[in-house]
Structure 1
């Protein structure tokens, strides 16, 4: 199966609408690219005289949490219920462009740009996708969630603080490398529950999940962002700087204190496993100079980094 630069599976298929066996070609290519990892939902392409149908999906799985960055042209299909397609899941679509439409015998839910839809997928849903639709899909195990009684679906505006925070976290998950999978998975579920419960971004009940989301983001940007700061972290998570600092107030460490701690831990590991000099590692982990790095390292680990590096050959 094709992979992106982060090792996540990718589906990238284009078939002509007007081909007599368009649906067969689509299913054949989907199976060849995705196998059983991304099951194809029962859907069919409309018969159009022009244009081709394209579908692109980038998929990341964090234990039993699944996230997909989806692009699709016009199509119709069904999912959940007796179709057996991820029926034990709660599925959320964040529509960025275009629109989805989900229907059951009792419900008809349009999900245009800037809207999200949460659905229990143990019901049979028919869906319709508009041409050029881009969405982020989040799939969670239904057993882990608390949904309102007798609720099968929820629609909401993506501009609410809980929705913005969850979407920012989910997008970060698509870029995660070696972060703690269990922590990331649990943060996703907590942030989703915050969305369903209608909590706002600075609700103290949401702080543990916000801290986990912030830590996951920090892990992905330790190397690539020398300007990493509480302001940039808060902006990436779509929360206020005040909310971020309040969330960390119960951690016995500040936001930048955590960043420095993780950088020092990474630096210590590299001192013991590489031939890089203290100056090179200090620059690599965005310390002002080797003097500042040496002081911080000795204060944290009780040993001079030069001595730590020398120990790798012992």
Structure 2
């Protein structure tokens, strides 16, 4: 539990006092009441107190310190806590309308719900739905950054309650770097730049989640629908349409896109692109006077012979036979 990560993120709030800074002796008989009362006094409505229970020790004091920063509609908290247990989310009313991401720098969080358990030690992060009731335990000397995103603005699989990832993964590193940079320069950003930073944060977060939950039964159909809609819009206009461009547009990895098609589609990504181009070309073959060579160029085939070969393989007859029929 004493493990730490060397990467320092940022200190929020600058030289300002923390939004919450409480010390309660463990030996105090009324320690839980004192903690909650002081939390409510300091945090108010902007930082509501979850139900908390302190362990009983004969010496020492429990310490909690929270610094906050608001990046447009995205709250970020720098949290330090000694050993404590509590509940959050669901009917406890503590940011139940948010998706929370815990980026742990030292110590450990443990979350448990009726459906899932997650341990979030130093160097890992956890994304969880906060509308689900969670019990949690915090190890002594735990520091984490907590990002809250509005649940209505992100796509999170309905039957997945939490996902974890290593902070060293590429998607996690991108998200953390974006948050750190945005926090550092936020005071100097104009409205347009701040909105662009917000949108980029949502996209990087979605990419992180998508990479982690590709096997989810709810996510894969949604990914395929989005991919097919994107492909359909660009069949004719984009001669360079390929798997990488599609994946980048959907904010997922190429591997994730390939796996999605492999699980639920009847063809590969580019196989689907070619099939749709052939089907659209067949409609024009029988409804226009475009030549085979013109159709081949229009639908981005290398030449007429490649088009004829692909057409016959897909439909079982030549373009000439289709037009004659």
- TM-score by length of structure 2 reads 0.58
Distance 2:208 2:49 in 1: 28
Q: CA deviation at 1:160?
A: 0.5
Distance 1:208 1:33 in 2: 42
Is residue 146 from structure 1 mapped to residue 155 from structure 2 by the alignment?
A: yes
Q: Tell me which residue corresponds to 1:266.
A: none
**Structure 1 residues 4, 150: CA separation in 2 closer, same or farther (over 3 Å shift)?**
closer
Whether contact under 8 Å (2:22, 2:63) holds in the other structure is yes
- Please list, as runs of the form range in 1=range in 2, the aligned pairs for 1:194-233 lying within 5 A after superposition: 194-198=207-211
Q: Tell me which residue corresponds to 1:35.
A: 44
Match of 2:187, SS state, is coil
Could you list the runs of 5+ residues in structure 1 that have no partner in the other structure? 210-314
Distance 1:116 1:129 in 2: 14
* Aligned mate of 2:82, from 55, 73, 92: 73
Q: State the Cα RMSD in Å.
A: 2.4
Distance 2:195 2:248 in 1: 18
- Please list, as runs of the form range in 1=range in 2, the aligned pairs for 1:149-168 lying within 5 A after superposition: 149-168=158-177
Q: Tell me which residue corresponds to 1:106.
A: 115
Q: Tell me which residue corresponds to 1:56.
A: 65
Distance 1:17 1:121 in 2: 29
C-alpha deviations, 1:236-292, integer Å up to 9, x for none? xxxxxxxxxxxxxxxxxxxxxxxxxxxxxxxxxxxxxxxxxxxxxxxxxxxxxxxxx
Distance 1:182 1:42 in 2: 35
Q: CA deviation at 1:29?
A: 2.1
Structure 1 range deviating more: 79-88 or 24-33? 24-33
Q: CA deviation at 1:9?
A: 5.6
Q: CA deviation at 1:149?
A: 4.2
Whether contact under 8 Å (1:14, 1:52) holds in the other structure is yes
* Aligned mate of 2:92, from 83, 106, 109: 83
Match of 2:188, SS state, is coil
Match of 1:185, SS state, is helix
Whether contact under 8 Å (1:190, 1:206) holds in the other structure is no
Q: Tell me which residue corresponds to 1:129.
A: 138
C-alpha deviations, 1:65-85, integer Å up to 9, x for none? 111111100000000011121
* Aligned mate of 2:180, from 171, 177, 180: 171
Could you list the runs of 5+ residues in structure 2 that have no partner in the other structure? 1-11, 213-243, 252-325
Whether contact under 8 Å (1:194, 1:206) holds in the other structure is no
- Please list, as runs of the form range in 1=range in 2, the aligned pairs for 1:89-100 lying within 5 A after superposition: 89-100=98-109
Q: CA deviation at 1:98?
A: 0.4
Whether contact under 8 Å (2:68, 2:77) holds in the other structure is yes
